[in-house]
């Protein structure tokens, strides 16, 4: 099912001051945080400021016409929409799966994590045996500042909506199927949604 985008929707840029409501993991932005890898225990949301966490979000007319509170991922155009009550949506730029790794489906948020740890799935390790078997949360972690884990019923799909330590990939098709966001954006979305939120990937 494709999203029918209405042309000419006026975008109102959201204020970024406060959320209301893999490859080699040398982090080129480490200098912004005063060093290299930072553990989750010592890492704080103060590091979301600056270029590393700047956002793409805007309020637009809702092209999805979904029930308020629904997340819709427009894979083709590389946007994520959070539908609101008044016929508008918060739109975020996202990165999506590279060719051969895109997918579509109706899921929901099964759990949420702040500064999540990362354990690559076995299929990814087979493709990339050079990857670490486990990474603690922090600046170098490819899941970024927040992760929302997508489930189908009680089954973990292994796909996530998450932040990124590679912000230049937002708007690109480079992932193994997960939905990537700027760290500032994913933190904003994380604070607006709860476990059980419907996520439609189109």
Which residues are catalytically annotated? 162, 178
Please tell me the distance from the alpha carbon of residue 7 to that of residue 135, in angstroms, as a whole number.
Answer: 42
CA torsion sign for 135, 22, 191, 108 is: negative
Closest CA to 198 of 163, 165, 150, 164: 150
Whole-number Cα distances in Å, 146 to 90, 160, 188: 18, 10, 10
Phi, psi of 135, deg, nearest 5: -135, 135
Contacts of 28 (CB under 8 A, 6+ apart): none
Residues forming beta bridges with residue 96, ordered by sequence position: 173
Closest CA to 111 of 151, 80, 141, 53: 151
Q: Give the full edge-to-edge strand order of the sheet including 88-93.
A: 12-13, 58-61, 88-93, 79-83, 71-74, 198-201, 105-114, 146-152, 155-162, 179-180
Whole-number Cα distances in Å, 70 to 67, 128, 169: 6, 34, 25
């Amino acid at each position: 099912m494709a999203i029918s985008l209405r042309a000419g929707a006026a975008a109102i840029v959201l204020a970024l001051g406060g959320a209301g409501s893999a490859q080699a993991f040398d982090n080129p932005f480490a200098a912004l945080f005063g060093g290299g890898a930072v553990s989750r225990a010592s890492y704080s949301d103060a590091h979301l400021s600056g270029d590393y966490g700047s956002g793409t979000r805007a309020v637009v007319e809702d092209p999805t016409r979904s029930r308020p509170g629904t997340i819709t991922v427009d894979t083709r155009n590389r946007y994520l929409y959070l539908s609101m009550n008044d016929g508008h949506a918060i739109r975020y730029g996202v990165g999506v799966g590279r060719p051969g790794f895109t997918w579509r489906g109706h899921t929901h948020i099964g759990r949420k994590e702040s500064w999540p740890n990362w354990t690559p799935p076995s299929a990814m390790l087979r493709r990339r045996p050079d990857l670490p078997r486990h990474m603690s949360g922090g600046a170098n972690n490819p899941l970024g500042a927040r992760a929302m884990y997508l489930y189908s019923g009680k089954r973990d799909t292994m796909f996530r909506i998450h932040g990124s330590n590679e912000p230049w990939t937002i708007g690109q098709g480079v992932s193994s199927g997960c939905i990537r966001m700027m760290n500032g954006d994913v933190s904003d979305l994380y604070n607006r949604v709860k476990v059980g939120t419907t996520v439609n990937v189109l």
